[in-house]
A and B are shown apart, each in its own frame.
Chain A
Amino acid sequence: MKNLFLPLLLATILIFSACKKDDPVIVDEEELITTLRYTLTPATGGSAIILSFQDLDGDGGNAPTITGGTLAANQTYSGTLELLNETESPAESITEEIMEEQEEHQFFFQSTISDLTVAYNDRDANGDPLGLSSTLTTGSAASGALTIVLRHEPNKSAAGVADGNIASAGGETDIEVTFPIDVQ
């Protein structure tokens, strides 16, 4: 019987002292990507156009803010992608993480405007496309959408993937954002 006193005592302590849960630790969401910026600088000079997607509170909460852009017809832009975690202060660059794991990542660009094309302007250590740096070329005036996808662990050697065709890339999507685009 004696060996039951300890558990009984423990039980009593647990029951009467543990009615309030301690404050949880609010985690540092280091991995979170809140912001994607696609900066398009015209080859002929002039001010850059910035397409941006910003969702400061992550998956839940408020809806993201999406800023599209107006591009000039028959123009070539050099594109740079920047990824940020703005819940940190100062904002943490996720672009660096992607650079560090470049063989395991690839961006894909899909446009509903048929003569708007995006070509890769960078390569990973294996010589496969990455997409942080790109060249965007517009054709005639049109309206549509540009979707940027970041795949983690895609099969970069699958058919068409090197040319930016996502269909057989596999892997999992880390980013998928769509911007409204006007070509004038």
Chain B
Amino acid sequence: MYNKHFLFFLFLFAVCQSNAQSCTFSIKGNVFDEVSETPLPYVNVFIQEMAKGTNTDEEGNFVLEHICKGEYHLIFSHIGCAEKKIHLDLERDTVINMVLSHTSTSLGTVVIEGKKENLTNHPNLSVNRQTIEDNTNQNLSGLLENETGVHLLKNGSGIAKPIVHGLFGNRLTILNNGIAQSGQQWGNDHSPEIDPFAADKIIVLKGANAVEYGGGNLGSIILVEPKPIEREPHLHGQVNYVFETNGRGHSINTRLEKYSPALAWRINGTLKKYGDRRTAAYFLNNTGIEEANLAVQLEKSWRERVFFNFYASTFNTTLGVLRGSHIGNLTDLEQALVNETPFFTEPEFSYAIDSPKQHVSHHLVKSQLKYFIDDHQIVEFVVAGQLNNRKEFDVRRSGRTDIPALSLAQYTFDSSLKYTNNFGHHWNFKLGTQNIVTDNTNNPETGILPLIPDYISWKSGLFSTLSKEYDKTHFNIGLRYDYEYQNVATISNSVPREIVRFTNQFHNISGLFAAKFNITNTQSISLNTGYAMRNPAINELYSSGLHQGVSGIEEGDVNLVTEAALKNTLEYKWLPNTDFSISALFYHQHFNNYIFLNPQEEFRLTIRGAFPVFNYEQTDANIYGLDISTQFTIKNKIFALLRYSYLKGEDIKNNIPLVFMPPNSFFGSIVYRVKNPVTFSHNIKIEETEIELNNRLVFEQKNILATQDFLPPPPTYNLTGVKISTNFIFSKYKIRGFFKADNVFNIRYRDYLNRQRYFADDIGLSMTLGVNFKF
């Protein structure tokens, strides 16, 4: 569908002249910016098959002449923009008008099956394919780290989950391919099991909750989206390979795709292997990673009215957990806190992954059927199944190290039906229903009483949204109702052990109002208000026992009530021209009955010694902050970016700070682009060389009391990175290569949101070398 639009665009602007002779054709055109609609100079236009290219002039025009009849691929690239590639069957002189979007100033239109679903009312940011490819060594969370308002909750270097505006885990929905990611999202030491390289775009919707997406989200949503398969008849693909010195890690990602009217397909595979990471001073033993992922996407359409889409993916990982962070009791923890280097630190590097470790598999199968009743009405039906298998291994006695200490299987079944109607003058109406069944089972192989009980939950939702675009104003309202039924089978804490059952029913309502006003052609204000309810999650109600990862006893509370949040965001954007933009987003979220783990004053005495006790409790809270982002281009050679995030979380009932709130941070980068290609011989040259210098400054979290944590938050740290990237052109082919160095000064630091900070430093200098080959 996306290409259908594009072809339409081509026809609209194409000036056709018949010409019988070959090799005399020309391709002309104009390139402009999607947002400001101004011409874009210095855009590189490259014909892949001829290894021939040109740049647009000051008015955004380009001309390519003396081209033979035939099939070509044209690549449009520009500093700070996502690259665009089109297929062209050249039979005559052709005019192409191209739109490029600056990645960070983009107002974030998500292309889902060709119809542009407008998200302009929701403040958002997105990570494009180029960034994903250049970070093949990163996980999903790592890709978002430098974005405003996004932080990472880490457990060492390999395990990370995103935090958006202070919310994570049960409060933040991640949609993989439109399906809410299931699994053990409650665990602070559990990464989302998604391969970002199967995606083309990762979008963070930072506004109040979009009611269309279920999943108990209280605010922001992360969308991981692959793009539709390009409508082009040739086999295309790419290979990305990245080597990273720190951890001696190899990552390889391959993608193949082909379109034919009978069936369009895409296969994406990723393999990763890392050994021990290293801080500035010592190895972090047992922090290796092994990962193998595969995704298959199939698309078929019938008469441009019925679209079928099938997606299946499997994600498999083994993650080592720093051996020195696995401790027995409070005495061990106190000992670890005063140790300069963690226990079990070895002077040698190793790829071996021993206990403690996590082995997680996540499988997803999804089918989507979309039917265009007419030009205005669409019906969409989606079914999806997920299986999340998590096994965590601890160091145990008598050969039990090979038996998982936690072993959970979770099946999730999603089905949804959605009706969309575009009517009248720019009105859009949506009505939908969604069912999610979750079945969570502990495997008794562990020989340990489970922390999370077995349960089944059944959730049904109904939502409706209405939006309207006027000349200068867009608005959007939405309402959603969810019913959730939980059937839980817990095992008693006392002996003799017996099964204690609970059934719960919850009714949740969420609502949304969003509006955007274009004050002038270059300035806009977006206002977003959302109310959402989240019923207590299973872990918050029933967890009981020792959570090894945090060295504490966590006690759920069966009397917890539903938490409710009201979030307001106000965003101002100013885009005076293509060379400069600034945006500021202020947000405030008020929670009633905010559920949190409260450290208790008592210590629980067990045979293993004393343990701190954490109870799930409720309070009222506020989280507010400011995200500022600006970027500017100087003479189309230098591209600079500055981002600042401020956040504060308060427990307003007890008048104390909230724990685990991201510290304020600043990110800046400056890119210099070498404008002219360098030719080595007639068929080898390099072009689009870029040199980047970046810096991330993370301030000390001062908004916390000494009594709220075992250790005070680590001091402010500053990380500097450099990156050089270039494109090698060998006759027909283009190979992208890059070299990156992170933490170039090899500083020692610890991060407040890295739970391993009690035991070890964060990782030191790392150099990365990557190549990307597309055909």
A residues sitting closer than 8 Å to B (CB atoms) are: 1, 3-4, 7-8, 10-11, 14-15, 18-31, 33-34, 36, 53, 55-64, 87, 94, 97-98, 100-101, 149, 151-153, 155, 170-177
Most buried by B among A10, A19, A27, A53: A27
Shortest 8 CB-CB contacts between residues of A and residues of B: A173-B328, A176-B609, A172-B328, A170-B343, A25-B444, A60-B493, A61-B493, A7-B383
* Assembly CA distance A98 to B524 (angstroms): 70
Whether B415 lies near A60 (C-beta < 8 A) is no
Given A4-B369, A21-B489, A31-B448: A26 and B395 interface contact (C-beta under 8 Å): no
* Assembly CA distance A58 to B498 (angstroms): 14
Residues on B with beta carbons closer than 8 Å to the beta carbon of A4: 367, 369, 381, 383
Which B506-555 residues have a C-beta within 8 angstroms of A?
Answer: 544-546, 553, 555
Of the A-B pairs whose beta carbons lie under 8 Å apart in the complex, a sample of 13, sorted by A's number, is: A3-B367, A11-B435, A15-B458, A26-B498, A59-B611, A60-B493, A61-B495, A64-B606, A152-B395, A173-B609, A175-B608, A176-B329, A176-B331
Whether A153 lies near B395 (C-beta < 8 A) is yes
Whether A26 lies near B491 (C-beta < 8 A) is yes
Whether B343 lies near A20 (C-beta < 8 A) is no
* Assembly CA distance A47 to B449 (angstroms): 39
* Assembly CA distance A34 to B449 (angstroms): 14
Question: In the complex, which of the residues B383, B485, B545, B605 contacts A8, with contact meaning CB atoms closer than 8 Å?
Answer: B383
Q: How far is the CB of B640 from chain A (nearest CB, A)?
A: 48
Give the tally of cross-chain contacts (CB within 8 A).
Answer: 158
- Tell me if B36 is interfacial: C-beta within 8 Å of chain A: no
Question: In the complex, which of the residues A8, A31, A57 contacts B396, with contact meaning CB atoms closer than 8 Å?
Answer: A31
- Tell me if B162 is interfacial: C-beta within 8 Å of chain A: no
Residue of A at shortest CB range from B494? A61
Given A23-B489, A30-B447: A173 and B494 interface contact (C-beta under 8 Å): no
* Assembly CA distance A170 to B343 (angstroms): 6
Given A31-B396, A100-B398: A60 and B544 interface contact (C-beta under 8 Å): yes
- Tell me if B37 is interfacial: C-beta within 8 Å of chain A: no
* Assembly CA distance A2 to B497 (angstroms): 48
Residues on A with beta carbons closer than 8 Å to the beta carbon of B453: 24
* Assembly CA distance A151 to B332 (angstroms): 10
Whether A172 lies near B327 (C-beta < 8 A) is yes
* Assembly CA distance A87 to B456 (angstroms): 29
- Tell me if B326 is interfacial: C-beta within 8 Å of chain A: yes
Residues on A with beta carbons closer than 8 Å to the beta carbon of B395: 152-153, 172
Given A21-B456, A61-B494, A101-B398: A14 and B328 interface contact (C-beta under 8 Å): no
* Assembly CA distance A154 to B332 (angstroms): 12
Which B339-378 residues have a C-beta within 8 angstroms of A?
Answer: 343-344, 367, 369
Which B423-475 residues have a C-beta within 8 angstroms of A?
Answer: 435, 437, 439, 441-442, 444, 446-450, 453-456, 458
Q: How far is the CB of A135 from chain B (nearest CB, A)?
A: 24
Q: How far is the CB of B80 from chain A (nearest CB, A)?
A: 43
Residues on A with beta carbons closer than 8 Å to the beta carbon of B606: 55, 58-59, 64
Question: In the complex, which of the residues A14, A20, A29, A153 contacts B413, with contact meaning CB atoms closer than 8 Å?
Answer: A14
Q: How far is the CB of A67 from chain B (nearest CB, A)?
A: 14
* Assembly CA distance A63 to B250 (angstroms): 50
* Assembly CA distance A20 to B503 (angstroms): 9
Most buried by A among B450, B454, B608, B610: B608
Whether A18 lies near B437 (C-beta < 8 A) is yes
Whether B487 lies near A14 (C-beta < 8 A) is no
- Tell me if B607 is interfacial: C-beta within 8 Å of chain A: yes
Residues on B with beta carbons closer than 8 Å to the beta carbon of A177: 607, 609
Q: How far is the CB of A90 from chain B (nearest CB, A)?
A: 16
- Tell me if B634 is interfacial: C-beta within 8 Å of chain A: no
Whether A152 lies near B458 (C-beta < 8 A) is no
Whether A20 lies near B456 (C-beta < 8 A) is yes
Residue of B at shortest CB range from A10? B413
Residue of A at shortest CB range from B369? A4
Given A4-B367, A29-B447, A172-B332: A63 and B609 interface contact (C-beta under 8 Å): no
Residues on B with beta carbons closer than 8 Å to the beta carbon of A7: 367, 383, 385, 415
B residues sitting closer than 8 Å to A (CB atoms) are: 326-329, 331-332, 335, 343-344, 367, 369, 381, 383, 385, 395-398, 400, 413, 415, 435, 437, 439, 441-442, 444, 446-450, 453-456, 458, 485, 487-489, 491, 493-495, 497-499, 544-546, 553, 555, 604-611
Knowing that A7-B383, A24-B489 touch, tell me 18 more A-B residue pairs with CB under 8 angstroms.
Answer: A4-B369, A15-B458, A18-B437, A19-B458, A21-B455, A30-B447, A31-B447, A55-B606, A60-B493, A60-B555, A60-B604, A61-B495, A63-B605, A87-B495, A151-B328, A155-B343, A170-B343, A172-B327
Residue of B at shortest CB range from A55? B607
* Assembly CA distance A43 to B343 (angstroms): 39
* Assembly CA distance A94 to B439 (angstroms): 36
Question: In the complex, which of the residues A62, A153, A170 contacts B494, with contact meaning CB atoms closer than 8 Å?
Answer: A62
Whether B437 lies near A29 (C-beta < 8 A) is no
Residues on B with beta carbons closer than 8 Å to the beta carbon of A94: 397
* Assembly CA distance A27 to B441 (angstroms): 13
Question: In the complex, which of the residues B332, B435, B491, B493 contacts A24, with contact meaning CB atoms closer than 8 Å?
Answer: B491
* Assembly CA distance A53 to B606 (angstroms): 9
Residue of B at shortest CB range from A57? B495
* Assembly CA distance A33 to B607 (angstroms): 7
Given A172-B328, A173-B608, A177-B607: A22 and B489 interface contact (C-beta under 8 Å): yes
* Assembly CA distance A100 to B400 (angstroms): 13
* Assembly CA distance A151 to B491 (angstroms): 29
Q: How far is the CB of B37 from chain A (nearest CB, A)?
A: 42
Given A57-B495, A60-B545: A21 and B435 interface contact (C-beta under 8 Å): no
Residues on B with beta carbons closer than 8 Å to the beta carbon of A149: 331, 609
Residues on B with beta carbons closer than 8 Å to the beta carbon of A151: 328
* Assembly CA distance A26 to B397 (angstroms): 21
* Assembly CA distance A58 to B611 (angstroms): 13
Residues on A with beta carbons closer than 8 Å to the beta carbon of B458: 15, 18-19
* Assembly CA distance A153 to B324 (angstroms): 11
Q: How far is the CB of A55 from chain B (nearest CB, A)?
A: 5
Residues on A with beta carbons closer than 8 Å to the beta carbon of B444: 24-27
Whether B493 lies near A14 (C-beta < 8 A) is no
Q: How far is the CB of A1 from chain B (nearest CB, A)?
A: 7
Residues on A with beta carbons closer than 8 Å to the beta carbon of B450: 24, 27
Given A15-B435, A172-B395, A173-B608: A22 and B332 interface contact (C-beta under 8 Å): no
Whether A29 lies near B454 (C-beta < 8 A) is no
Residues on B with beta carbons closer than 8 Å to the beta carbon of A24: 441-442, 444, 450, 453-454, 489, 491, 499
